[in-house]
Chain A
Amino acid sequence: MTGGYFEIQNISGGYGSGRVVRDVSISIARGEVVCLLGRNGVGKSTLAKLACGFLRPMSGAVQLAGVEITGKRPSENLTLGLTYCPQERVVFDDLTVAENLSLMRTDRRLDEFEPYFRAFPRLSERRGQYAGTLSGGEKKLLSFVRGLSEGSAMMVIDEPTEGVQFENVVRMAELMLAQKEAGASFLVVEQNLTLVDRVADRIVIMDHGEVALSAAASELDRQQILAHLTV
C-alpha cells in the first residue's frame, strides 16, 4: 500500500469494552475530502474519536503523513497537523466568542479571522458574547471557524452543519474547498447532503460499525446514498 496522507488502518474500538467500530480502514489522500455517512449510531463519531486520539483503539493503527499517531493525545496530534472538531459541546460556553478563537494564540488580535467574520457576520457581531449564549448552529459555525483557522493539513469534522442555515452551509463548503485547494485533507462526518454534494471527493458509508460502501462521489447519485441512510 503506497499510503494516503491520513491512514486509518483496521481500526476497532469503542467505549469501555464495547466494540462500536469494527475493522474500519479509510485512506485519505492530500487534498482529498472524504465524507463519512451513515445512520445514527453506526459508529461514525466513535471512528472519528478513535482516529484523533480521544479514544484508544483496541486494535488497528492511525498514520498521519507517514507517522504513526495511534494512542497519541489529541493535543499532541494537533501539533502534528491533525485538527478535530467534535459533534457535541463544540465550543467553550464560559468563554466569549473572541476568547474561543484567540485562546491558543499568543496575542488576542482577531485580524486573521476577518475573512471568516466576513463569511459569517453573525459571529463577528457576537464576538463579545459568551459562546454559551449562541444558538446551536452558531456554535457549530464558531467551532468550524476555530478548526479551519488552525490551518492543519488534516481536519476531522464531526457533523459541522447540524442546525446551520442553508446559506451558511454553502459558505462552509466554499471555505473548505479553498483550504482543499491549498492542499488540506478532510474527513467529514455528515448527514447533510447539501454539504456533501459540494465538497465530497469520496463517500464512505458506515453501517453496524463497518464500512458498507466506499466510492467516488461522482459514481454515486443521491438516490443510492439516501437508500443507505434511510431504512
Chain B
Amino acid sequence: MSVPRATAAVSEQWVGGPFGDSRFKYFLIAPALFIMLSIALFPLINLLVVSFQGISIIAENKSFHGILNYQRLAGDSRMWKSLLHTVGLLLVALPIELIFGMAMALLFVDKMRGRQIFVALLVLPMVIAPIVAGATWRLMFDNQFGPINQIIGWFAGRDVTIVWLADSSFVWPAILATEVWHSTPFMFIILLAGLAGVDRSQIESAQIDGASAARIFFKIILPAIRPVLAVAILIRALDLFRIFDIIWALTRGGPGTVTETISTFTFVKAFEQFDTSFAAAVAITVVLILTAVTIYALRRIEIAR
C-alpha cells in the first residue's frame, strides 16, 4: 500500500524530526509530570531532607543531624499513643461505616418511590466539609444547649449533663458518631454503584433455586462487588488514618491526649510548636506506613496489576 506523499512527510517529521516518536510522548506527558513532581515528589524529598536536620523553634539548624529525630520519635510515647488512637478509630469506625453503608445500599438498590430524594438526602453529610461537620457536631454535643443531651433527657425523664467532649468516657463515642455520620454516605454511594452493576439474572436464578437471602448475598452479591468494596474500604481506611478535621473541631485531641491522632499530633508539633524536623520525621514515618499498607492492600485486592 502506498503512503500519500503529504502523510508520509508528516510521519517522517514526527518520527525522525526533532520530536521523534520516542521523545514526543515524553513531551506530551511533561506538563503533567512537572505538576506531579511539583506537588508531590519535591515536597516529599524536602520533607525527607528536613527530617534529618535540626530545624525547630529554637534554631533553623539545617546541618545533618543523622537519625536523631527518628530516635526521638521511637521513644516518644505520645506519638505512639496517637498512632494507637488512629488505628483504634480505624478498626472500629471502618466496619461500622461498611455495615451501615452496605445496609443502606441494599435498601436503596431496588427502585422505589422517592428513591432519588432519599439517596440525595443520605449523601448530604458527605458534601459537608469535615471541619464544618466537626464544628456542627460540637454544638450538638454541647452539654448546655446541644440537642443530644436534651433528647437523652427526654428518655431519662430528667436533665442530663453529659460533658461529651471533656469526659474521657464519652469523648470517643462522640467522635465515632460524628465520623460515622459524615463518612458512611461515601461507603453507601460507592456500594450502591457496585450493587447496581450486579447481574440481576444470577440473583433471580438463585431465588428460583430456593437460595436464602444470606446465601445470595454472600455467594453472589459480595463476590460480584468485591473489587468495588475493596476500593471503598481502602479509600476509607486511608481517610481514617489521616483523620484530622473532625477531631480538631471536636476536641483538638483532648481531654489531655485521649483523642489525639497521628495527624493532630503532627500538626501540633509542626505548626504550633515549630518542632519542624521532628514533625517531618513523623510525617515520613506515616508516609512509609501508609505506602506499605497501600501496596499490600492493592496486591491483595489485585487491582494494581
A binds B: no
